[in-house]
Amino acid sequence: RRPELIKDFDRDVYGRVPSDVPAVHWEVSSSGEGQEGDIPVIKKSLVGRVDNSRCPAISVNIELTLTTPAKAAGAVPVILELSWKRVFTTAPAAQHPTWQEEVLAKGWGYAEIVPTSIQPDNGAGLTEGIIGLANKGEARKLDDWGALRAWAWGASRALDYFETDKSVDAHRVGVTGHSRYGKAALVAMAYDQRFAIAYISSSGEGGARLHRRNSGEILENVAGTGEYHWMAGNFLKYAGPLTANDLPVDSHELIALCAPRPVFIGVGSPVAGDGWADGKGMFLAAVAAGPVYRLLGKQGLETKEFPPAGTALMTGSVAFREHLEGHTPAPNWPYFLSFAGRFLGTPDSPAPRRDGDPRLY
């Protein structure tokens, strides 16, 4: 049913990518050695220049960085994060390592792509960015792609580059994102079967959460004035006169499109401030995706009972954990990396905390 589900998600949820999207040409703008934590690295900064010859008034230059261990013997797995642009500071080191340091400590690399360099995060920007360029500055049609699908498209273009870079094992590239970028990361994982694994953090409505739940962020919120541009125009009709119950698909089917590849779904505690993401709604979607994983010879979640906060469910190819903090992906990173180690074929050893405490979060 994959083609059928993709068609439904294209038409009514995330929008259809035009068949004639302009090509991306990647350029390495800088490359050099450095250090993160105690690990020597090679860091590349890249720009993906999108061909704008048919609409010169709109320029799209995708921002991407790639960091790999300098002492790697060969191509390494890479985790690609859709992220807000990182600002490097000289602030004192945190008590525990950054997720980037944890990834490097496993002998892997990481990459960061800036989604807003692909498509602006506002409704006015729908005639700009890659959506505007593909439409030559004209308004989009009701089934055209929204920002989530555009950001996911950009992640796939980064993967195109990784397939040409000898430092990257392109068969072992994972994708991750938090909050709105968690939504986009799940879309990228579902649509592009080249991604090997995903960590989807606090993605909520429009991501891993079931549309048909009335808790936390709901469909009407995403269809509202501040977020409607994330979705296809057709999605808005399900905020009225239609409802979420009229949708032809739900998010468990988006997770099922990732099968049999492994997916880790994380969320924070509602008590600590992450109730908007509706962890239970995401858990229920993950459970409902289980039959497809089993059909393809893999195990889904090992229980249908929502686990206590802090409990990691990760014996199968679908994992779930609600950590004890708020709207942040950080506390689940060590658990995701432990989970990912089973599939990406490297030793399972989270980086130690800087304060010497052997515990995880």
Residue 36 makes CB contacts below 8 A (sequence gap 6+) with 67, 98, 100, 101, 104
- What is the per-residue pLDDT for 352? 40
Give how far the C-alpha of residue 346 lies from the chain's centroid of Cα atoms, to the nearest Å: 22
DSSP sequence for 286-310: HHHTHHHHHHTT----S-SSPPPTT
Is the pTM for the entire model greater than 0.85? yes
Class of domain 2-344: alpha beta
- What is the per-residue pLDDT for 96? 76
Which amino acid makes up residue 136? Answer: K
- What is the per-residue pLDDT for 94? 58
- What is the per-residue pLDDT for 168? 98
Domain borders along the chain are 2-344
Tell me 127's DSSP state: G
Question: What's the burial of 225, exposed, middle or buried (CB within 10 Å: 0-12/13-18/19+)?
Answer: exposed
Alpha-carbon distance of 361 to 351, in angstroms, equals 12
Contact indicator for 268, 328 with CB cutoff of 8 Å: yes
Mean pLDDT by 10 residues, the chain (361 residues): 97 98 98 95 98 98 98 96 70 73 97 99 98 98 98 99 98 98 99 99 98 95 98 98 98 99 98 97 98 98 96 98 98 97 67 42 35
- What is the per-residue pLDDT for 350? 41
User: Which two structure tokens, joined as six digits, stand for 218?
Assistant: 């709901």
